[in-house]
């Protein structure tokens, strides 16, 4: 390479040094910080201080998801395509920590004087089918529920298409859920109730360890060793503030923040029930008789449909996730939305979003509400969701090239 073609970070006669990571985007950082602070103050005043705290908690979740690139879609895809298991092992660690935190509290039924309950649902035909098509949607849409929110906040314009279709599919799923719920199903089965808190913890920890061990064996068989991500160019306080974080740090933080959600709201973290609410409100605004759907027939559901979205815990936390990811992207110097989306990719985003939304309603949740929080609650339906969604990911990964989407062999920084 001649001196005239050397990159700015290199000089003739000196070793090449990679360019320094981008700096903080001050204006975007200030705007995102202001949105977080204003949201906490305004929601806290209009609804309750606890609701404001939940918005802040959503912001923390968005920042962790972005900085740790913690996703489910890419982690499952690179394991399917190249047996890289780091992401799956991080998920098992996250679930193990959450299980240890959740089970004693769920067995007691209260935390610091507040009643708490896990996300335990029946496991039947609707869960299997819903999780399966959700898994296909993860790979064609380009993200899961948490991944869609934090990549939208991080500046992905393609994921805006996925999110819009996700909301539409969720509303359609809410309209049809009563039919699917009538199909054959097991009752609600909880490991906490079946084995007790400590027995349930032991059972789940063994399963997590077995899954992690399988990923180790398969990765070593494919590559001869366990593969790791390259070292970060940032270290110390710079890395803490700007990322990227180790995926293990993300696993620990998400488990702790989910427990904080349980403590503040009385139930674990969820995402997609808010999409059904938003989509149903839009449908009602277009003149559809949404209130007649059985999904909205209970007094609590009807109050949610008729009330402000800022009174809905899941909605407020979802808003916080988007703003928290925006803040994280600006701190990392990587907020740079692009507005050109290839046609095939756009079609995949819409189709994937519809599958994600419809599947999440049928399966009583997504990768967060059913998989993460369901398993952390000891619900059998969470394990059924995981198996069916992974099968859907196998299909979805094979479909990606039809839409011009890459099947990469290393995790992307967006984790989607």
Cross-strand bridge partners of residue 115: 110
Using one digit for the tens of pLDDT, what is the confidence trace for 132-147?
999 999 999 988 888 8
Hey, CA dihedral for 292, 361, 56, 325, is it positive or negative?
A: negative
- Number of domains into which the chain is organized: 1
220 occurs within a structural domain: yes
Residue 277 tokens read as 């609410």
The Cα–Cα gap between 336 and 47 comes to 34
Per-residue pLDDT, 14:
37
Number of helical (H) and strand (E) elements in the chain, helices listed first: 16, 4
What kind and span of H or E run contains 188?
Answer: strand 185-188
19 occurs within a structural domain: no
210 occurs within a structural domain: yes
Question: Distances in Å between the alpha carbon of 268 and those of 15, 74, 81, 400?
Answer: 51, 24, 32, 32
Percent of the chain with pLDDT over 90: 79
Per the document, the length of the chain is: 416
Asked if 122 and 385 touch (Cβ cutoff 8 Å), the reply is no
274 occurs within a structural domain: yes
218 occurs within a structural domain: yes
The Cα–Cα gap between 333 and 339 comes to 18
Q: With 80 as the cut, is the pLDDT of residue 12 above it?
A: no
Q: How do 122-124 and 185-188 pair as beta strands?
A: antiparallel
The Cα–Cα gap between 318 and 271 comes to 6
Q: Which residue has the higher pLDDT, 320 or 112?
A: 320
Per-residue pLDDT, 9:
36
Using one digit for the tens of pLDDT, what is the confidence trace for 326-385?
999 999 998 888 778 899 999 999 999 999 999 999 999 999 999 999 999 999 999 999
Cβ-Cβ contacts under 8 Å for 215 (sequence gap 6 or more): 79, 83, 85, 88, 89
175 occurs within a structural domain: yes
pTM of the model: 0.91
The band of 6, judged by pLDDT with boundaries at 50, 70 and 90, is: very low
| Residue 159: domain span | 26-226+242-298+310-403
Per-residue pLDDT, 411:
57
11 occurs within a structural domain: no
| Residue environment code for 207-241, b if the CB has 16+ CB neighbours within 10 A, otherwise e | bbeebbeebeeebeeeeeeebeeeeeebeeeebee
232 occurs within a structural domain: no
Residue 183 tokens read as 């199909």
The Cα–Cα gap between 377 and 383 comes to 11
Residue 94 tokens read as 């996250």
Using one digit for the tens of pLDDT, what is the confidence trace for 193-202?
999 999 999 9
């Amino acid at each position: 390479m001649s001196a005239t073609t050397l990159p700015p970070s290199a000089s003739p006669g000196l070793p090449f040094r990679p360019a320094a990571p981008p700096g903080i985007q001050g204006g975007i950082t200030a705007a995102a910080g202001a949105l977080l602070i204003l949201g906490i103050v305004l929601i806290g005043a209009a609804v309750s201080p606890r609701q404001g705290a939940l918005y802040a908690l959503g912001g923390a979740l968005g920042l962790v998801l972005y900085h740790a690139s913690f996703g489910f879609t890419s982690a499952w895809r690179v394991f399917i395509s190249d047996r890289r298991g780091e992401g799956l092992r991080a998920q098992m660690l996250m679930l193990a920590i959450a299980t240890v935190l959740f089970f004693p509290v769920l067995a007691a039924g209260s935390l610091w004087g507040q009643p708490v309950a896990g996300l335990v649902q029946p496991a039947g035909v609707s869960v299997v089918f819903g999780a399966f098509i959700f898994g296909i949607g993860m790979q064609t849409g380009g993200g899961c529920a948490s991944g869609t929110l934090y990549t939208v906040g991080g500046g992905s314009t393609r994921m805006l298409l996925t999110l819009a279709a996700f909301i539409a599919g969720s509303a359609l799923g809410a309209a049809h859920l009563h039919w699917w719920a009538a199909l054959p199903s097991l009752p609600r089965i909880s490991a906490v109730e079946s084995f007790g808190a400590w027995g349930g913890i032991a059972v789940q920890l063994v399963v997590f360890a077995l899954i992690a061990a399988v990923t180790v064996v398969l990765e070593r068989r494919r590559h001869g060793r366990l593969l790791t991500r390259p070292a970060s160019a940032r270290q110390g306080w710079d890395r803490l503030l700007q990322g990227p974080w180790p995926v293990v740090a993300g696993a620990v933080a998400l488990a702790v923040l989910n427990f904080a959600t349980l403590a503040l709201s009385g139930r674990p973290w969820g995402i997609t029930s808010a999409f059904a609410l938003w989509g149903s409100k839009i449908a009602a605004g277009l003149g559809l008789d949404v209130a007649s759907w059985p999904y909205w027939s209970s007094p609590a559901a009807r109050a949610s449909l008729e009330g402000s979205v800022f009174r809905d815990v899941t909605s407020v936390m979802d808003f916080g996730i988007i703003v928290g990811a925006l803040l994280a992207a600006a701190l990392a110097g990587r907020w740079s939305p692009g507005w050109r989306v290839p046609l095939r990719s756009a079609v995949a985003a819409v189709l994937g979003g519809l599958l994600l939304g419809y599947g999440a309603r049928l399966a009583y949740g997504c990768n967060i509400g059913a998989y993460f929080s369901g398993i952390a609650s000891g619900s059998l339906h969470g394990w059924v969701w995981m198996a069916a969604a992974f099968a859907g990911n196998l299909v979805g990964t094979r479909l990606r090239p039809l839409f011009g989407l890459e099947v990469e062999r290393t995790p992307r920084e967006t984790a989607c």
